[in-house]
Chains A and B, each alone.
Chain A
Amino acid sequence: MFRDRERRESAIMLAPYVVGLAVLVALPAAITFGLALTEYDLVRAPRFAGFDNFYELWDDTVFWTAVRNSLMFILFAVPLRLIGAVALALLLHRRFRGAAGYRTAGYLPSVVPDVAFALLWLWILNPLYGPLNLALGAAGGPTPSWLTDARAAQWAVIIMSLFTIGEGFVVAMATRQGIAGELYELGAVEGASPLHMLWRVTLPLMAPTLLLLLCRDTIFSFQANFVPALLVTGGGPEYATTYLPLFIYRNGFEYLRYGYAAAATILMFLITALIVYLQYRIVKRWRRAFVV
């Protein structure tokens, strides 16, 4: 009897989430799969088009540019974001005066609304009066035209992404705090250098969490560059910052090609799934070495 009640209560408490998941995720996903096989411009009724959208994508150079841009973004942004999160975690995991302030500062960019964050960077990256180039110039460094040079624009989007690592930072910090302090005291007595402890103890013990963060961040990063690409670089110059989410958005909401955008969404989903699967395979092998 108790079991039944518990089950009923669980079902009731789970219901809002399930409804939300169905209406906001499952249903649109199902519709997307349907739409991908149609031509639909919001004005005329959808027309069944078979795999035409996919054939067209195959020949669309802009689509392939977007795929390449997205993959390159992940290749650089994900490891750098992870390193940043771990570095912050290792710096700030200890208790010290002002720690809470530094931790808040580390997390804060992640809770700034995307649009405000993007507009802020539009100012920071301004080649003439932006603080970044003023600082670089004062230090005698290069002062790239962040928004008009293709390579520089790609780096600008990556650099922007390096500040929104709050969640990874918090998870990494919690993991680091979970490692027994006595292991480090033992290391001190045994004469292990800080670097030895980092490589031989801290990172291996954090590895399971870090690998999980890696997978999560890959999925996240595929989509995270949408707002900066739209507002800061506008996808350019010359498609240099047109990533898959922006490509899909433009086709859907600007060119009103919903079927085409849906087909691209499905391909993006498949690419993400493939990468996560590959990571999972690697992770599974690595994890065996770190089982605790």
Chain B
Amino acid sequence: MAELRFAGVRKDYGPVRALRGLDLEAADGELLVLVGPSGSGKSTALRTAAGLEDVTAGSVHIGERDVTRVPPAERNVAMVFQSYALFPHLSVAENIAFGLRARKVPREEARLKVERAAELVECGDLFERKPFELSGGERQRVALARALVREPDVFLLDEPLSNLDAQLRVHMRAELKLLHQRLGTTMVHVTHDQVEALTMGERVAVLGDGVVQQVATPAEVYRRPANRFVARFIGSPGMNLFRGRAENGTLHAGPFAIDWSSPQVRGRELEVGVRPEHVSVGGEGTAAEVRVVELAGSEAYLHLEVEQTTVVARVPPEQPPAVGSRVRVQLDPDRLHLFDHETGARLEA
């Protein structure tokens, strides 16, 4: 077991800069989730950790070792691919044993290890089958068993859940977390799904434009996004963002005007963010028209039009206002996020 550390990792593909100086560490035994939109560099980061991509500059460390120039086989990492990468001509048992056989582990010892790994992910009853006879979830288990059979220092999971249907994905999310708790091995999990990131990670690293935008606990990333990029990317539906400016005791945020006494951000061009759950509907406030009502079971989301600006608000699902009806809207002044309009960086009020 060991920690995984990226130190100033840069990766260029010709003129394209996939990673622009990645500094990130997954602590020993930690489950770190790398999340970001497509093209953010998260898969590239994982592949440089595995050694499948050379780095243009910077270094990758596993435990005490600098593995930047070490071939993949000698890094003692295991990888689970989005497609699972099961060998179609080999049985489940042979697939799990592949790495052991390649490393010339004696047959009997390999068999015991394969059985133990299969037991951990509960796929022991599939041994004789070929991958084409398995469901998506079963393939996933086999790929996991193959990854853990060698007892690697670090697990690298590249969007392992994205080929599963929604229900199975939620189930496997929990199973992966359990597996991590049981093994206690360092795990880096790449996903583009921010819900998956928030529910699974002990810490979440949000990647954008080839750099780390924020590394923090899921709660921190959600409650205090470090910049506009994170604010936009994390949360579903996303955060409402308005152009804003604070002057003369008032914060102007899009169509809203809020009493504002804090002097810190006075006169600056701002971006003001507020999550849908911190927009209150009813009572006092600015007039708005309900354009869309989305029922999501335990809650409902209203898309409101306020002076040609769309605002999303979360309301209790019982008796939401009808489409077309007029309501009044207020932003919770204590739950506003302020970002510098130029740099996008978070500002403390």
| Residues of A in contact with B (beta carbons under 8 Å apart) | 180, 182-183, 185-193, 196, 200-201, 204-205, 289-292
The verdict on B217 contacting chain A, using a C-beta distance below 8 Å, is no
- Chain A CB within 8 A of B71 CB: yes
28 A-B pairs in the complex with CB atoms less than 8 angstroms apart: A180-B83, A182-B81, A182-B83, A185-B72, A185-B79, A185-B85, A186-B81, A188-B51, A188-B73, A189-B52, A189-B72, A189-B75, A189-B77, A189-B78, A189-B79, A190-B78, A190-B99, A190-B103, A190-B150, A191-B103, A192-B73, A200-B102, A201-B87, A205-B87, A291-B89, A291-B130, A292-B89, A292-B132
Q: Which of B74, B83, B89 contacts A289 (CB 8 A)?
A: B89
B233 within 8 A of A: no
Distance in Å: Cβ of B77 to nearest Cβ of chain A: 7
**Cβ A191 vs Cβ B73 within 8 A:** yes
Interface assignment of B50: CB less than 8 Å from any CB of chain A: yes
B89 touches A205 (CB 8 A): yes
In angstroms, Cα B78 to Cα A292, docked, is: 25
Whether the Cβ atoms of A196 and B85 lie closer than 8 Å is no
Report chain A residues within 8 Å CB of B88: 205, 292
Known: A180-B83, A182-B81, A292-B132. A187 touches B89 (CB 8 A): no
Residues of A near B79 (CB, < 8 A) are 185-186, 189
Residues of chain B in range 73-98 having any CB-CB distance to chain A below 8 Å: 73-75, 77-79, 81, 83, 85, 87-89, 98
Do A189 and B102 touch (CB < 8 A)?
A: no
Residue of B nearest to A292 (CB): B88
Q: Nearest 6 CB-CB pairs, A to B?
A: A190-B99, A191-B73, A192-B102, A182-B85, A292-B88, A186-B85
SS of A interface (majority): helix
- B98 neighbours in A (Cβ, 8 Å): 186-187, 190, 192, 200
Residues of chain B within 8 A (CB-CB) of A290 are: 89
Which residue in A180, A189, A291, A292 is a CB contact (below 8 Å) of B73? Answer: A189
Q: Are B51 and A204 in contact (CB under 8 A)?
A: no
CA A292 to CA B74, docked complex, whole Å: 31
Q: Which residue of A lies closest to B80 (CB)?
A: A186
Rounded to whole Å, the gap between the CB of A260 and the closest CB of chain B is 49
Interface range for B = 20 to 34
- Which B-chain residue is minimally distant from A291 (CB atoms)? B130
Return A270 CB to nearest CB of chain B, in Å: 35
15 additional contacts (CB under 8 A) given A187-B102, A188-B71: A183-B87, A185-B52, A185-B85, A189-B51, A189-B52, A189-B78, A189-B79, A190-B98, A190-B99, A191-B74, A192-B99, A200-B101, A204-B89, A205-B88, A290-B89
In the bound complex, how far is the Cα of B137 from the Cα of A76, in angstroms?
A: 48
C-alpha spacing A196/B87, complex, angstroms: 13
Nearest residue in A to B130 (C-beta to C-beta)? A291
Q: Is the CB of A191 within 8 A of B99?
A: yes
Please, which residues of chain B bring their CB within 8 A of the CB of A182?
A: 81, 83, 85
Among B50, B85, B102, contact of A193 (Cβ-Cβ < 8 Å): B102
Task: Determine the chain A residues whose CB is within 8 A of the CB of B89 once the complex forms.
Answer: 204-205, 289-292
Q: How far is the CB of A120 from chain B (nearest CB, A)?
A: 42
Bound CA span A266–B150, Å: 60
Question: What separation, in Å, do the CA atoms of A289 and B88 have in the docked complex?
Answer: 11
| Nearest B residue (CB) for A193 | B102
Min CB distance A199 to B, Å, is 11
Q: Which residues of the partner chain B approach A185 to less than 8 Å between Cβ atoms?
A: 50, 52, 72, 79, 81, 85
Which residues of B are found within 8 Å of A183, using beta-carbon distances? 85, 87
Once the chains are docked, how many angstroms separate the CA of A183 from the CA of B146? 13
| Identity of the chain B residue whose Cβ is nearest the Cβ of A201 in the assembled complex | B87
**Chain A residues, CB < 8 A from B51:** 188-189
* Shortest CB distance A143–B (Å): 46
A189 vs B77: C-alpha distance when bound (angstroms): 7
- Give the chain B neighbours of A189 by CB distance below 8 A: 50-52, 72-73, 75, 77-79, 99
CB distance from A208 to the nearest CB of B (A): 10
Q: How far is the CB of B318 from chain A (nearest CB, A)?
A: 48
Shortest Cβ gap from B4 to chain A (Å): 14
Bound Cα distance A4, B64 (Å): 74
CA distance A185 to B82 in the complex (A): 13
**Smallest CB separation, A126 vs chain B (Å):** 48
In the assembled complex, the CB of A187 is this many whole angstroms from the nearest CB of chain B, namely 7
In Å, the complex CA distance between A129 and B328 comes to 100
Q: How many angstroms from the CA of A188 to the CA of B51 in the assembled complex?
A: 9
Which residue on chain B has the smallest CB distance to residue A190? B99
- Nearest to A204 among chain B residues (CB) is B89
